[in-house]
Chains A and B, each alone.
Chain A
Amino acid sequence: MNRRKFVGLAGVAAGAGYLSMRASKTEDKGPDPGPPGKSPVAVLKAASYDEDLVAKIREGAALCGLDVRGKRVLLKPNLVEFDSATAINTDVAVIAAAVAAFRSLGAADVRIGEGPGHRRDTLGLAEEARYLRGIPDFERMFTDLNRDDVRPVDNFAGERFYFPETVLGADVIVSLAKMKTHHWAGATLSMKNLFGLVPGAVYGWPKNKLHYIGIPRAIAELNRTFRNTFALVDGIVGMEGNGPIQGRPKHAGVLVMGQDLAAVDSTCCRIMGIDPAKVEYLRLASRIGHVRESGIEQRGESPAAVRANFELIHQFRDLRLA
């Protein structure tokens, strides 16, 4: 077994608990119509990380009507594990560009926070992923959400849950996700990226409690709890196959943005060649956001124009978009 497979499998080292984490796929019932009105989602082409990503992010924010003037912005990248052979984490260039873009758009403060699911040395992991070298002043801006001070939030999946103060104090949480397939959820995009908001100091490494709540339900609950969000999905190079860690890099050449995370993830699915109506967490999320195409106002490129079918593992082949 090669290094990539080894590293990847770390992410599925879910103890015997994996038995309870079933793949969540097709349900008979389709997505709800969603809230009133339509949600704008911007799809912008970016062939590589060398492009002017600051300009792209500013353009996407404008297309989606995002106003961050005077606001405290928390950037939440997807930092999971490091393997130079594949594309697990939000690329450092996208994070650095997001910092610059949101500052230039008038944010009062821009911070970066992440709470990885397994790795306890978050800063060490950030160093491996080149975040310390690639993002000016990273250490001053960064909060390890696994070890931040916390406050309670009532009625999360029917109980009191604790979340980091950095998260609760943010005016806007930007889910800086990676466009990836996921061997249990079908896809991991901006909504599942919020798993990293849950503090390990309370719930452990991994946050096994979320698995017992149920991955689709936990994703939906996190997104119901945190409504002050904006999604920026790094689909310049995503991951296909046995994601979220051991898959292969897949060039899709896009950044996808929007304030309705369900609409953003549904759009990403369509770009990836996945039918969002068959992804259970999106079906659950259709109560709070738009999953159906009719509820999404696509801006920039149309998903069909940039569609790049991501390879799906055998268990998820029925998710393929017709």
Chain B
Amino acid sequence: MGESLRQRIDLLLRTQNDDGGWGYFPGKRSWLEPTAYAMLALDKHADAAVLDRAWHLVESWQLADGSWRPGADVAGPGTWVTALGVHLCCARGCFDESFTRGVAWLMGTQGRECNWLARFIGLLQGMSKPGGPDNDVSHRGWPWLRGTTSWVEPTAQAIMALKMAAPHYPGVADRVADAEEHLLSRRCRDGGWNYGSRRALGIDLPSYPETTALALLGLQGRSDAVREEIAHARKLFAGTHSRLARAWLAVALQAHGEQPPAPEDEPNGDILLAALEAIAHPDGNRSAFRVAGGRA
């Protein structure tokens, strides 16, 4: 294990909360997002007891409707982190009733722009615009919260979770394929992804590194369709100063067969970042976000 990876693993092991989870920062209460990434980063780098304690906490956060709440302090409703709950079920090989309810919740969730009224309004607005509608709303993505609009990050996370779940939950393939089309339809003209839209108010939007990385993770198995986008991700990796962006881009490029260099900076106390940088390390958990076979 290289020094860079060791520093991050040590930080994660030192900062696990008594309840088994991790906060976004040391000493803070546990949230599902940093806990999920810490568990994925520590796979094969920690005792089973460490991961079991974390998993028991995550299991306890599943709500009656099958969704997961985002953290210790939030009673509900469940949010996009349900995708991470399902992701962890798959990573741990727990294909039980909890898994089934989580997948069912994801399958029953879509962006609000997909309802008939929003589509009708979008159609009317699109007809009145010289360049046509800003966004194709015929494909279903996922929102951060039910009742709101689809965005790239929750859509990409849900796609990954469902692709992992597919061998153990029949009937997800069509939804995954539709969501992939959703992501592909939201590609920006510059070759990456914005937060949710490719155009707004009739004008093209720029892409961002983190969202481009996450979209490419969601589109594993579609390398044929995203060759230019992978090249764009390489450029973003070389050009961004954001450590979070570099970590996500490294994970995404790994998933598409490349190996960017390991991070050189020391961990800065951001647990989510340390976990992602550990996963992105050449000796990190290469299977953390890898979707076997790509498409469901």
Contacts of B143 in A (CB 8 A): 204, 208
- Whether the pair B148, A12 counts as a contact (CB closer than 8 A) is no
Question: A85 interface residue, CB < 8 Å from B?
Answer: no
Min CB distance, B22 to chain A, in Å?
12
Min CB distance, A217 to chain B, in Å?
15
Q: From the candidates B118, B154, B203, B268, name the one contacting A5 in the complex (CB within 8 A).
A: B203
Q: Which of A5, A7, A205 has the most CB of B within 10 A?
A: A205
Interface size on A, residues (CB 8 A): 42
**Given that A16-B137, A204-B144 are known contacts, is A149 also in contact with B113, CB under 8 Å in the complex?**
no
Question: A118 interface residue, CB < 8 Å from B?
Answer: yes
- Whether the pair B31, A204 counts as a contact (CB closer than 8 A) is no
Give the CA-CA distance A124 to B74 in the complex, in Å. Answer: 27
Give the CA-CA distance A6 to B243 in the complex, in Å. Answer: 22
Question: B242 interface residue, CB < 8 Å from A?
Answer: yes
Question: B80 interface residue, CB < 8 Å from A?
Answer: yes
Which partner residue on chain A sits nearest B270 by CB separation?
Answer: A123
**Given that A10-B208, A16-B150, A19-B113 are known contacts, is A149 also in contact with B23, CB under 8 Å in the complex?**
yes
**Given that A17-B196, A121-B210 are known contacts, is A149 also in contact with B29, CB under 8 Å in the complex?**
yes
Proximity string of chain B (219-251) to chain A, C-beta cutoff 8 Å, 1 when within and 0 when not: 000000000000000000000011111000000
Question: A67 interface residue, CB < 8 Å from B?
Answer: no
Question: A206 interface residue, CB < 8 Å from B?
Answer: yes
Give the CA-CA distance A127 to B33 in the complex, in Å. Answer: 24
Question: A55 interface residue, CB < 8 Å from B?
Answer: no
Which partner residue on chain A sits nearest B200 by CB separation?
Answer: A12
Question: A147 interface residue, CB < 8 Å from B?
Answer: yes
Q: From the candidates A14, A147, A204, A206, name the one contacting B200 in the complex (CB within 8 A).
A: A14
Min CB distance, B225 to chain A, in Å?
21
- Whether the pair B24, A201 counts as a contact (CB closer than 8 A) is yes
Q: From the candidates A5, A13, A144, name the one contacting B195 in the complex (CB within 8 A).
A: A13
Q: From the candidates B111, B135, B203, name the one contacting A1 in the complex (CB within 8 A).
A: B203
Question: A151 interface residue, CB < 8 Å from B?
Answer: yes
Give the CA-CA distance A259 to B137 in the complex, in Å. Answer: 44
Contacts of B28 in A (CB 8 A): 148-149
Contacts of A5 in B (CB 8 A): 203
Give the CA-CA distance A286 to B135 in the complex, in Å. Answer: 37
Interchain residue pairs with CB less than 8 A apart (15)? A9-B205, A13-B194, A13-B196, A13-B200, A14-B196, A18-B197, A19-B118, A20-B118, A148-B28, A150-B73, A201-B31, A201-B33, A204-B151, A208-B151, A209-B147
* Nearest 8 Cβ contacts at the A-B interface: A204-B144, A15-B196, A17-B149, A16-B113, A147-B24, A6-B206, A124-B242, A208-B148
